[in-house]
Amino acid sequence: MATMNEATADFLAQKRIAVAGVARKSGEHGGNIVYQRLRERGYQVFAVNPNATEVEGDPCYPSVAAIPGGVDAVVIATAPEVAEDVMAECAAIGVRRVWIHQGPVAGSANDKAVELGQKWGITVIPGGCPLMYGPTSDGLHRTMRWGLSLFGRIPKEI
């Protein structure tokens, strides 16, 4: 079992990260904010939305499996009922690091997706947001991290 800090540091050490569930229009979804910040911080980031061919001015892929050259990690920012399918796809193509996005309100949290990922040997970060940690963080997200941690909404170990 890893600590949350160890798992997030390992996740954010990856260079090719997909964000599944970005919205077609900027600012409509937390996944877009994650996508933008990762791109700004120098990650090679890939948008995934089966209903779009372009997001944030970049190519968008219909699935994680469709990304040329694959990815090292995936942020799931989809509706909760889609998270299991994305997790299964990650397992099928060998992605071993998945972050299920969860902010202070609704997110992609899905206990079944977490259980499946862990069963399949994936390091699953079941909540919080990449923008709360390390090189992608900012003051607002660090404050959210503190508050969510205080109330037990972010695990200490995964």
Architecture of domain 4-150: 3-Layer(aba) Sandwich (3.40)
Query: What value, to the nearest 5°, has the Cα angle with vertex 158 and ends 151 and 91?
Result: 130
Walk along the chain (158 residues) and give the pLDDT tens digit of each residue: 799 999 999 999 999 999 999 998 776 568 999 999 999 999 999 999 999 999 989 999 999 999 999 999 999 999 999 999 999 999 999 999 999 998 666 678 889 999 999 999 999 999 889 999 988 888 999 998 998 888 888 888 88
Domain regions of the chain by residue span: 4-150
Predicted structure pTM score:
0.93
Question: Residue 22 has which token pair?
Answer: 């970005």
Dist. CA 50–CA 36, nearest whole Å: 19
**CB-based contact 118:84 (threshold 8 Å):** no
